Amino acid sequence: MNAADEFYIGWSGRTPAGYARWSRLAASVLIVSALVGGLTLLGAQRDPGPGTWDPNATVTLVGRVRADPGPILLIDAVEGDGRVPARAALLVSTGKFGAAGRVANMTGDPVRVRGTLINRGGFVVIELVDGAEAVTAASSAGNPEWPVEDLGIRTVRGEIVDPKCYSGAMKPGEGKVHRACAVRCLSGGITPVLVGRDESGLVGGFVLAGPRGEAINQRVLEFVADPIVVAGRVERHGGPDGVLVMRIDPAAIRRQ
């Protein structure tokens, strides 16, 4: 049979030589393309960020908590061998839920907190373990003060994220692809954080609250993951290694 007479019938179980050659070529191209394509598309991905989280490494911390302007723990001591790279941490629950309700009646009290550390460049979030053992009364705390430094009115440009995913629970945990997840997290009570910088170069995660420290989760949902600019009063809670809090009117948020 000459090449022109060749004809392929799949069910016949025979592949004419000309068809076989092209099939082998196609299979080779496919397999090489799979290798090159996988490597190339991965190589084009953006750095997922420096967040870390070991969900199996539970730590116990002693300090004091406040429920507003967000569930914040000022850390006085770490029990055991653990180490925390900041003086203050935001508290969240497992899943996509906040923790404000779990510390609402303990404002200013010395507490013992059990959870796992989520850390991105010193911005620390603690995911509380489930159950009542997550936050218990402590007999004493080293420092009864709750230092707050007023940094004045600042204009910050950046992106509203949910701090749990952004800090390392999900990598990457920012941007449009993550928008729906962040909306779910904020809807579940996780305190919104504005990641960005102000006009003076102050960079970081600004815990967002209303002018009186009230939660504004529902009012910022439509701006999540968008590049925004907003002005508000900025405070630093817990000293130099503490956490930045920004009190804003959500109506003043503008997309860039």
Partner 1 sequence: MSASYTGIGWNRQKRIYDAVMIASIVIFLGAFYGLGRVLFRPPHDATDETLLIRGLGSCAIIMLHIVLWIGPLARLQPRLAPLLYNRRHLGVGTFVLGLCHAAFATVQFHGFGNVNPLVSLLTSNTQYGSLARFPFEVLGLAALLILFLMAATSHDFWNRNLTPRFWKSLHMCVYGAYALLVAHVSLGTLQQERSPLILATVGVSVAVTIGLHLAGARREARTDRGSEPAAGDSGPWIDAGPAADLPMDRARIVCARGGERIAVFRHAGGVSAVSNVCRHQGGPLGEGKIVDGCVTCPWHGWQYRPGDGCSPPPFKERVETYRVRIVAGRVRVNPTALAPGTPVEPAVIEEGARV
Cα separation, 107 vs 110, in Å, equals: 9
Instruction: Pick the piece of the chain touching partner 1 (CB under 8 A) from 16-24, 102-110, 192-200, 231-239.
Output: 16-24
| Residue 101 backbone dihedrals phi, psi, to 5 degrees | -65, -25
Least distance (Å) between residue 252 CB and partner 1: 19
Cα 95 to its chain centre, rounded Å, is: 12
Which residues are paired to 148 by β-bridges?
237
Among 118, 124, 170, 245, interactor with partner 1 by CB under 8 A: 170
- Does residue 155 interact with partner 1 by CB under 8 A? no
Least distance (Å) between residue 194 CB and partner 1: 18
- Does residue 218 interact with partner 1 by CB under 8 A? no
Task: Report the largest interatomic distance among the alpha carbons of the chain, rounded to a whole angstrom.
Answer: 95
Identity of the residue, 191 or 198, whose beta carbon is nearer to partner 1 in the bound complex: 191
Cα separation, 116 vs 125, in Å, equals: 8
Among 122, 147, 188, 213, interactor with partner 1 by CB under 8 A: 188
- Does residue 35 interact with partner 1 by CB under 8 A? yes
Burial label, 226 (beta-carbon count in 10 A; 0-12, 13-18, 19+): middle
Among 87, 88, 97, 192, interactor with partner 1 by CB under 8 A: 97
The answer to whether the CB of 84 falls within 8 A of the CB of 117 is yes
- Does residue 15 interact with partner 1 by CB under 8 A? yes
CA distances (Å), 241 to each of 15, 86, 146, 159, in order?
72, 5, 13, 22
The answer to whether the CB of 218 falls within 8 A of the CB of 192 is no
Among 58, 60, 76, 94, interactor with partner 1 by CB under 8 A: 94
Among 130, 199, 222, 249, interactor with partner 1 by CB under 8 A: 222
Interface with partner 1 (CB under 8 A): 4-13, 15, 18-19, 21-23, 26-27, 30-31, 33-35, 37-52, 94-97, 168, 170-172, 175-181, 183-185, 187-188, 222, 226
